[in-house]
Copies of this chain bind each other. A is one copy, B any other.
Amino acid sequence: MLDMQQKIKIFKALGNETRFKIFKNVFTGGYACSIDKKKPQDDIIAQATCVTTIAEHFSFSLPTISRHLKELKDANIIKMTKKSNKIYIKPNPTIIKDLADCFADLVDNYNDTMFQFDNT
């Protein structure tokens, strides 16, 4: 699935408050692109959002948000699709699923083999 370096990249990306908030909102649909709200049915990625819209939710500058988004993209947490002169941002649920599975496996494996631990 995910190799160690990929995992570390994901953790690094999510270990920053601004990026974590972006991640959470992108995933839970917390953002809506103002333009798309007017004509959702016209657009195949109507539920996606764009860079400027996300930046509006923060007090940081647009370039700063842009760079945070790049990091989330490089960690494969979000997907960015250019359409005309805008970039639509979507979550990448498969990678988060992989991460959840990897943690769950770790815990399962731990419970199976290390039951003799005293975890007080």
Give the B-binding residues of A (Cβ under 8 A): 4, 7-9, 11-17, 20-21, 24, 27-29, 44-45, 47-48, 79, 90-94, 96-97, 99-101, 103-104, 106-107, 109-111, 113-114, 116-119
Contact = CB atoms under 8 A, between A and B. Distances in A.
A110 B23 CA distance: 13
Given A44-B118, A47-B117, A106 B96 contact: yes
A116 B11 CA distance: 28
B93 A119 contact: yes
A20 B107 CA distance: 15
Contacts of A17: 4, 8
A12 B15 CA distance: 4
B4 A11 contact: no
B27 A106 contact: yes
A13 B15 CA distance: 8
Contact of A29 (B47, B96, B113): B113
Contacts of A21: 4
Given A11-B12, A104-B104, 16 more contacts: A11-B14, A12-B12, A13-B15, A15-B15, A28-B106, A28-B109, A45-B117, A47-B117, A79-B119, A92-B119, A93-B111, A94-B119, A96-B103, A97-B103, A99-B103, A100-B106
